[in-house]
Amino acid sequence: MAKITVETIREMKARGEKIASLTAYDFPMARLLDEAGVPLLLVGDSLGMVVLGYPDTTHVTMADMEHHVRAVARAQPNALLAADLPIHSYDTPEQALDSARRLVAAGAEAVKAEGGRAIAAQVRAIVGAGIPFLGHLGMLPQHVLEEGGYKIKGRREEEHQALLADADALVAAGAFAVVLELVTPPVAKELTARLPIPTIGIGSGPDCDGQILVTHDLIGLFPWFTPKHVTPLFAAGAGVRQAAQLWREAMAKPAGGGGV
């Protein structure tokens, strides 16, 4: 199978082929998802919650991201491998480019950051250096503290217009695709029809060009919390718990059956 590239992802939109994307944070998961044929893998800063135990993504550092990108890259996936720029690693165009280069050096083939018009200069710097850029609009997890939670975007007209302007800015700056997180479905549908680049939704309805999920949510590997937009297809967490319990109980049994 041919290596998936940015052009492959763009061509999938042109063909009307849905783009599947999942998160990967380590070597075995990256191999498994790649063997399943997932074309776009993201080392997301969501690793802060589902791997590192933080309450949100604002605690994730560049060192954390580099560590996990290296692990995933060692799987040498056929999928396109993107990685999140963590909070405060792209405050200026110069910093954004330096951070993007660090993730590429760790093995990423594209980088993602949150925002539209506010980071247009950063996107241009990254794309101008030959590094593919994946946008992220709607609910921005790195802003969860200042926004007071995870809120659906696009319901109010000012949010609607801001999303359109931000999406246009990302296209103009050279983004190859954009993630739409918790965007109200009618607006996500409008953006998908409007933009020449693929939209990849998460909690934004069925009309985006593709969908992305946190793998731990999809397979039930973080059973203590499941987002409303996810229906787990497997109970991996329960399976791990049961396997450990069965092993512990078997280990505790006497080796022989003889008595006194």
Q: What are the CB-based long-range contacts (under 8 Å, 24+) for 161-168? A: 162/116, 163/116, 163/137, 163/138, 163/187, 163/191, 164/190, 164/191, 164/194, 165/116, 165/117, 166/115, 166/116, 166/117, 166/137, 167/116, 167/135, 167/137, 167/191, 167/194, 167/195
Cα–Cα distance, 114 to 117 (Å, whole number): 10
Q: How far is CA 159 from CA 22, 200, 203, in A?
A: 27, 19, 17
Cβ-proximal residues to 106 (8 Å cutoff; 6+ apart), any chain:
65, 66, 69, 70, 73, 83
Catalytic residues: 181
Nearest Cα to 72, choosing from 114, 40, 112? Answer: 40
Q: What are the CB-based long-range contacts (under 8 Å, 24+) for 185-193? A: 186/154, 187/153, 187/154, 187/160, 187/163, 188/154, 190/164, 191/163, 191/164, 191/167
Helical pair 185-194 and 157-173, crossing angle rounded to 10 deg: 30
* Structure token pair of residue 234: 């497997």
